[in-house]
A = this chain, B = another copy of it.
Amino acid sequence: MGCIEGDVVSYCLGMRLKAGLVFVSDSRTNAGVDSVATFKKSYVFDGAEDRVIVILTAGNLAITQSVISLLEERLHGPDRSRSLYGVKSMYEVARLVGDTLREVHAIDGAHLKSHGADFIASLIVGGQIQGRRMRLFNVYAAGNFIEASDETPYFQIGETKYGKPIIERVITVDTSLEEATKCALVSFDSTIKSNISVAPPLDVTLVPADGCRASVRYRVADDDPYFQMVRRAWGEGLRKLFTQLPDPDWAGG
């Protein structure tokens, strides 16, 4: 339990493209191989007309669910500075999520430590407020955060490595929402094949630029025909591409 990466129990991906925002999360959690369950890790806040905010969560489920519960409780509360619907900018949204995470740390951190558990949580926070630009943040366990840029238009949290190469190869800030969604599913396929702690259903949320609304909220089940087709075609295509590459002549017998 001393290693953050050893406790990985999710894979979430967010992209901030010119065409809009793309969010995909898996829904597998586990606390050991005999305790595996399905929990959603995508939260869409669209109850105010002027904005849409999407949060993806990875890490200790008790921590991230507490953060979401506190944020939800305060949505319509008197203190607008603590409401996702009350703050004025996406920067303030990221700050509020970070502060809420710090609040949970103050409550639970020492107790987790006394049981030998680290405080492991990270969140992808993105969205748009009317009249302002789309933004995407990666909020760390310490409550600090960084923002996606045109050069690095995406964030991954949780089990990120298996699925990174395809994103690195095809995603730029000019990629369309459809292509980006396809790329995300290929990335999840590679991750699911390699890490048993990542599994469908996958929650996909698309937010086209300047609409301040999610245009798509789609749950990709394990038997989803499109996902099955992508997995099969990608696997077959990779093997064919690999076979067509010439062997190194210096490796010959």
Give the oligomeric copy count: 2
Query: A251 with B165: in contact, given A5-B6, A233-B245, A245-B230 (CB under 8 Å)?
Result: no
Query: A165 with B194: in contact, given A5-B6, A248-B226 (CB under 8 Å)?
Result: yes
Residues from chain B with Cβ under 8 Å of A242 in the complex: 166, 169-170, 182-183, 186
Closest approach, in angstroms, between the C-beta of A200 and any C-beta of chain B? 14
27 A-B pairs whose Cβ atoms sit less than 8 Å apart in the complex:
A3-B3, A3-B6, A4-B6, A5-B6, A161-B162, A162-B165, A165-B193, A165-B194, A168-B193, A169-B193, A169-B239, A169-B242, A170-B239, A176-B247, A177-B253, A181-B247, A181-B251, A182-B246, A186-B242, A204-B251, A215-B253, A216-B251, A218-B251, A226-B248, A226-B249, A233-B245, A241-B241
8 nearest A-B pairs in the assembled complex, by CB-CB distance:
A161-B161, A178-B247, A3-B3, A237-B241, A181-B251, A165-B190, A5-B5, A178-B251
The residue that A245 contacts in the complex, of B5, B168, B182, with Cβ under 8 A, is B182
CB of B194 within 8 A of CB of A161, answer: yes
- How far, in whole Å, are A185 and B250 apart by their CA atoms in the complex? 13
- How far, in whole Å, are A218 and B193 apart by their CA atoms in the complex? 32
Residues from chain B with Cβ under 8 Å of A237 in the complex: 241, 244-245
Provide the A1-42 mask, 1 if CB < 8 A to any CB of B, else 0: 011111000000000000000000000000000000000000
